[in-house]
Amino acid sequence: QAVVTQEPSLTVSPGGTVTLTCGSSTGAVTSGHYPYWLQQKPGQAPRTLIFDTNKKHSWTPARFSGSLLEGKAALTLSGAQPEDEAEYYCLLLSGGPWVFGGGTKLTVL
């Protein structure tokens, strides 16, 4: 089972842009890992923002986008809002099982 790595914490200024990344111990992350990005705020269940690398749900704000970047999955937030402060988790398909990353705590400050 792969180990999935994320930045433990990042800070972005309101209105700024930030990219969160998601790597795999087994090598480059590809579309075959079907990367997901989930957002979780304190006391709430997680919600998926991005699935299958770059697909959005109807509730995903347009300022979030997913991509593959230099062998990793990436979540880019363009025009950060105070309500984007949260924990962000990536999820990768690792053979049969899936594996979550450790999460990135994003601060908007």
Partner 1 sequence: EVQLVESGGGLVQPGGSLRLSCVASGFTFSSYWMTWVRQAPGRGLEWVANIKQDGSQKNYGDSVKGRFNISRDNAKNSLYLQMNSLRAEDTAVYYCTRGMTHWGQGTLVSASS
Q: Is 54 in the site for partner 1 (CB under 8 A)?
A: no
Q: Shortest distance, CB of residue 100 to partner 1, whole angstroms?
A: 5
Assign 84 to helix, strand or coil: helix
CB atoms closer than 10 angstroms to residue 75: 28
Q: Are 69 and 53 in contact (CB under 8 A)?
A: no
C-alpha span between 39 and 6 (Å, rounded):
14
| Subset of 1-20 contacting partner 1 (CB under 8 A) | 1
Candidate ranges 14-22, 24-32, 76-84, 97-105; the one touching partner 1 (CB under 8 A): 97-105
- Residue choice 19, 30, 48, 65 for contact with partner 1 (CB under 8 A): 48
